[in-house]
Amino acid sequence: MSYNDNAICIQNISKCYQIYNNPRDRLKQFVVPKFQQLLGRDRTQFYSEFWALQDINFEVKKGESAGIIGRNGSGKSTLLQIITGTLTPTTGQVSTQGRIAALLELGSGFNPEFTGRENIYLNGAVLGLSKKEIDNKFDAIASFADIGSHLDQPVKTYSSGMMVRLAFAVQVQLEPDILIVDEALAVGDALFQKRCFRQIEKLTSNGVTLLFVSHDQESVRTLTNKSVLLDRGKQIKTGLSSEVLLDYRRLLHEEESKFYSSLAEDITLRSQSTTFKEKDELAVEEVTSVTHLNSQQETLRSDKLSFGEGEATIDGVELYNSNGENVNVFNPGEDVRIRVHFSIHTDIDKLNVGIRIRNKEGVKIYSWGTLNQDMFKISKGSKENLYWNKKFLKGSKDYVDLEFNCSLGSNLYEIQASVSHEETPDYFSQRILHWRDEAAFFHVHVIRDEYFFGGLTDLKMIAKW
C-alpha cells in the first residue's frame, strides 16, 4: 500500500505531561536545571511524568471509517487533538491528507461573543473557504442546524444542544476530506442524532474518511469498519470493529470484576464477627475458590468469542421450528424456539439467561432474557414462578427455551447468548457469568410470492382504500 492511500497515518505517537506538586516546583524546573548544567552537575527533576499516550500506531485509508474506543481517561481525546494539530506529541509523527473537519469538545472553534452566523463564516475561513463558497453553503448549514432566530444571537447564549447542532452543521456541510467526531453528538436529542448519523453515512459513502469516537458500541459497530482500542494510553488492539468491541466489553467486564472484588475484600477486612481461626479457614476457602474461578477465567479467555466470571457457562444454542425440528432456516410468520444450554459451577440463584440477535451488518435487532419476563410479572404484582428465584446446584446442567414468532426480514442473523447473576431483578446490579458471541446463526428467507416485504422487520402493515 502506498503512502498516498492513507488519509491518516499515526507513527509511534506518545504524549507525556509534566505533573508538578505545586507552582514553586514548576519555577524550580525552569531555573535550577540550567544552573546545574552550567556547573556540570546532574540535573534535578521537579516533576513526575504522566504518559497520556504511549507508542500509538495505526493507519486509516482514504474513504475508510475507523473508530477509537476505550474507557474515560484512556487517551482518546488526546489522540484526536494530536491528529487535528491542536496538541503536539512528545514523540512520533502524524500525517494527514485533505481538509479536516473536527467536532471535538463542545463549542471548540467558536468565538462565544460572535453570533452563530458570524461563527459559520469564521469556521469556513479557518477551513480555507472563501466568503463566496460559504455564502453558497450557508442556507444548507442553517437548515441543518435548525436553530431559527438564535442564529443571530451570540453563541454564549446557546444551550449545549444548540451548540452541537450548529457545530455539526458547519463541519459536515463544508465538505471535508476527513471528518473527526468525538462524543459531541451525545448531547443532541434523538431526532438530531438520527439526522447526524444519516449525514455521516452519506459522507462516508461519498468517500469521506471518518474517525469516530463514542461510548455507544452500537454506533461504532454500525458506522465503522475498523477500530482501535485504547486503555490507559496504550494501544490494546486494532482490527475489525466487531472484534475490537468484544475485547472492549471483556475489558469493561474485567475492570468491573476487580471493583467488586475490592469491595468484597474491604467488607471482609472490616468484619469483626469471626475468630482468627474462622478467618484462616475462610481465607483458605476463598483462595481455593478464587484459584478455581481464575482457572475457569483463563479457559474462557482462550476462547476469543466469550468472557465471564465462570460460575456458569453457556454450553451451546440450538434452534427449533414449531414441529420440534432442529433447523437454521426460517420464513417470516414461523415460530422460532431458541434453546440455550448452560452448566452451573457453584451453588447459585438469581440468574438471568438471555440472548441478543444481530444481523450480518452488526445491527442489534433485539435483546431479551428471562429477567425481562420476571420484571413484567413483578410489575403486574405477581412474584410467583419467577426464574430469578430458581436455585441451581453446583454441577447441574439446564436449558431455557426462548420463543418468538419470526417477523424478521431476509438476512443472516447471529445469536449471542449469556447467563448473568442479577443481584436485584431490574438489570441494575449485573455480573456476567458467561457471554458468548456467535453462539448460533440462522437465516430468514422471505417467500416473494406469498409473504414479501422489505427492511429489517415486518410491521404487519395493511392497505386501506
Which of these ranges, 155-159, 260-264, 272-276, has the smallest mean pLDDT? 272-276
Amino acid 417: pLDDT: 94
Amino acid 367: pLDDT: 94
Query: Domain spanning 3-246: which CATH class is it, in words?
Result: alpha beta
Amino acid 289: pLDDT: 43
Averaged pLDDT, 210-224: 83
Q: Is the pLDDT of residue 153 over 60?
A: yes
Q: Are 133 and 160 in contact (CB under 8 A)?
A: no
Confidence of residue 261 (pLDDT cuts 50, 70, 90): low
**Structure confidence by residue, pLDDT tens digits, 17-60:** 988 888 888 888 888 888 878 888 888 888 888 899 999 999 99
Q: Is the pLDDT of residue 187 over 70?
A: no
Q: How far apart, in whole angstroms, are the C-alpha atoms of residue 306 and residue 438? A: 9
Give the range with max mean pLDDT: 240-249, 332-341, 421-430: 332-341
Coil, helix or strand at residue 272: coil
The superfamily CATH assigns to domain 311-465 is abc- transporter (atp binding component) like domain (2.70.50.60)
Stated pTM of the model? 0.64
Amino acid identity of residue 248, one-letter, is Y
Q: How far apart, in whole angstroms, are the C-alpha atoms of residue 170 and residue 144? A: 9
Q: Is the pLDDT of residue 263 over 70?
A: no
**Structure confidence by residue, pLDDT tens digits, 304-341:** 667 888 899 999 999 999 999 999 999 999 999 999 99
**Structure confidence by residue, pLDDT tens digits, 360-394:** 877 889 999 999 999 999 999 988 899 999 999 99
Confidence of residue 400 (pLDDT cuts 50, 70, 90): very high
Longest dimension (CA), the chain: 97
Coil, helix or strand at residue 129: coil
Rounded to the nearest angstrom, the gap between the alpha carbon of residue 174 and the centroid of all alpha carbons in its chain is 28
Amino acid 228: pLDDT: 92
414, β-bridge pairs: 358, 441
Amino acid 147: pLDDT: 80
User: Where do the domains of the chain lie?
Assistant: 3-246, 311-465
Q: Is the pLDDT of residue 345 over 90?
A: yes
Q: How far apart, in whole angstroms, are the C-alpha atoms of residue 339 and residue 330? A: 15
